[in-house]
Amino acid sequence: MIGVRIRTMPKRAVLDPQGEAVVRGLRMLGHDVVRDARVGRVVELVLDLDDEADALAAAERMCADLLVNDVVEYGEVELVDASAIVVGVGAGASA
C-alpha cells in the first residue's frame, strides 16, 4: 500500500478571505511578522497499489475527477508513508 497526500490551495488570482482572516487574527495576537496567509486543504489517501508512479498517476486522476476544482484551486500530490495515515496499514504496520 502507498500513501499519497494531496495539498489543495486556492489559485493565486483567487481572493482567499480565510487567509486574510488568519493574517488579521495572528497580527491581533502580536505576530506582527505575518505578512500574508493562504488557507488550503489536505487530503491523505491510502492506495491499494505498490508502484509509486502508478500511485502518483492515480492520485492525479482523482484530483481531476473530484479532489480539485481547477476553476479556483490547484493541487499538489506527494507520496507519504501509508502507516502515517492510517494505523494498521503500510510499511510501519505490524501483522
Partner 1 sequence: MTSVAVIVFPGSNCDRDAARALDDVLGAGTATLAWHAETSLDGIDAIVLPGGFSWGDYLRTGALARFAPVMGAVRVAAGRGVPVLGICNGFQVLCEAGLLPGALLRNDHLHFRCDEVPVEVASSDTPWTRAIAPGRTLQLPIAHGEGRFHADDAVLDELVRDDRVVVRYAGDNPNGSARAIAGVCSAERNVVGMMPHPERAVHAWMGSDDGALLFESLRLTLAAGSTDMNDTSELELTGAH
Instruction: Write the CB contacts of 63 (distance below 8 Å, at least 6 apart in sequence).
Output: 6, 8, 75, 77
CA distances for 55 relative to 34, 40, 52, 61, 73, angstroms: 36, 22, 5, 10, 21
- Residues 12, 17, 33, 35: which binds partner 1 (CB under 8 A)? 17
List binders of partner 1 among 30-69 (CB under 8 A).
66-67, 69
CB of 2 to partner 1, least distance (A): 22
Please give the residue ranges that form the binding site for partner 1 (CB under 8 A): 10, 13-15, 17-18, 21, 66-67, 69, 71-72
